[in-house]
Copies of this chain bind each other. A is one copy, B any other.
Amino acid sequence: MNNRGYISAETRLKVEKAIKKLKYQPNEIARSLFSKKTNILGLIVPSIIHPFFCEMIQHLEHEATKHRYKILLCNSNFESNKEQEYLEMLRRHKVDGIIIGSHTPEVLQYITKDCPLVTFDRRLGKNIPYITSDNSHGGQLAAELLIQKGCKNIACLAGNLELDLLSNERFESFINTVHKHNAHCHIIQTDANVFNFEKYVTMIEELFHTDDDVDGIFLSDMMAIDLLSYCFQNKIQIPKKLKVIGYDDIIYAKFTTPPLTTIKQSIEEMSIKAIEILDNMINGKKVQMQNVFPVEMILRGTT
């Protein structure tokens, strides 16, 4: 009896006493079954330990709690079949909405109209809202900085460019800008589409093996951390011999030696928006499909 129309003061007291005595807590499962609302949001990320997603999860959880939602956490590990399994599981569990971090395109068929969904860094369809940073602008800013600092032989270390991720646009834009300034741009990409920190160093070694005159490089913060560690061990002077610019501005970017110059995307704002959109969709409101957030250049010691 939780606050329905008319209760006498007497019975109200009696009920309240009983609640305390029995430590009564309403059963949310039964409630959900009746109300068809679980107040749970599913979150599918390709990695929990990658600091970008880690920060995202932190903010999403915080924001979700504000809106009285709980988070069911799923790690797809970039595997298409795991994404599908999780998507089905979330559907069976009747979550109110789903947030899915960048992922394989095959999932489209597992998405149902009955469950609101927003994506990070991927455009899946006309009526599926996505959230991303202004990768195009970020790539351009990075290229312009390296050029301005006098770099002539530039490289970028990309993830798998075959994947249709919006985050890959930053490299397109970077390469275009470098070319526009008549500089050379060396492109290295991983075949793997997983975050394998061990593998980064191999890529880095490959880079220096192929072309050790590289004097400027653009890559994700996480790869940059690995690169800077490699450079320290191999006595490659930063930024004198090589200038480095990252992307993301993860919390560790400021702790590298030297501290990492990077393109910051506002993970917090993006997370707030994700929950806002999802909440609006759940409540049947109209939402914006394209949500591109501005990036910001953070100048530190590697350039």
When the two chains form their complex, are residues B25 and A29 in contact, meaning their CB atoms are under 8 A apart? no
Determine the distance from Cα of A48 to Cα of B48 in the docked complex, in whole angstroms: 10
Q: Which residues of B contact A254 (CB under 8 A)?
A: 229
Tell me which of B62, B112, B232 contacts A75 (CB under 8 A): B62
Q: Which of A208-230 contact B (CB under 8 A)?
A: 225-226, 228-229
A8 at the A/B interface (Cβ < 8 Å)?
Answer: no
When the two chains form their complex, are residues A259 and B229 in contact, meaning their CB atoms are under 8 A apart? yes
Determine the distance from Cα of A258 to Cα of B228 in the docked complex, in whole angstroms: 11
A243 at the A/B interface (Cβ < 8 Å)?
Answer: no
Q: Which residues of B contact A27 (CB under 8 A)?
A: 33, 92, 94
When the two chains form their complex, are residues A94 and B225 in contact, meaning their CB atoms are under 8 A apart? no
Determine the distance from Cα of A112 to Cα of B88 in the docked complex, in whole angstroms: 32
Q: Which residues of B contact A23 (CB under 8 A)?
A: 112
Q: Which residues of B contact A28 (CB under 8 A)?
A: 92-94
Q: Across the two chains, which residue of chain B brings its CB closest to A226? A: B255
Q: Tell me the interface secondary structure of chain A in the complex.
A: helix
Determine the distance from Cα of A27 to Cα of B94 in the docked complex, in whole angstroms: 7
Query: Digit string of A106-125 for contact with B (CB within 8 Å is 1, else 0)?
Result: 00000010000000000000
Q: Which of A237-295 contact B (CB under 8 A)?
A: 251-252, 254-259
When the two chains form their complex, are residues B256 and A197 in contact, meaning their CB atoms are under 8 A apart? no
When the two chains form their complex, are residues A73 and B57 in contact, meaning their CB atoms are under 8 A apart? yes
Q: Which A residues are closer than 8 A to B by beta carbons?
A: 23, 25-30, 32-33, 38, 40, 47-49, 51, 54-55, 57-58, 61-62, 65, 70-75, 88-89, 91-94, 112, 197, 225-226, 228-229, 232, 251-252, 254-259
Question: What would be 27 A-B contacts, judged by CB atoms less than 8 Å apart?
Answer: A25-B88, A25-B92, A27-B92, A29-B32, A29-B33, A29-B38, A33-B33, A48-B54, A48-B58, A48-B61, A49-B58, A49-B251, A51-B54, A54-B54, A58-B75, A61-B74, A61-B75, A62-B75, A65-B75, A70-B72, A70-B74, A70-B93, A71-B73, A72-B72, A197-B251, A229-B256, A257-B257
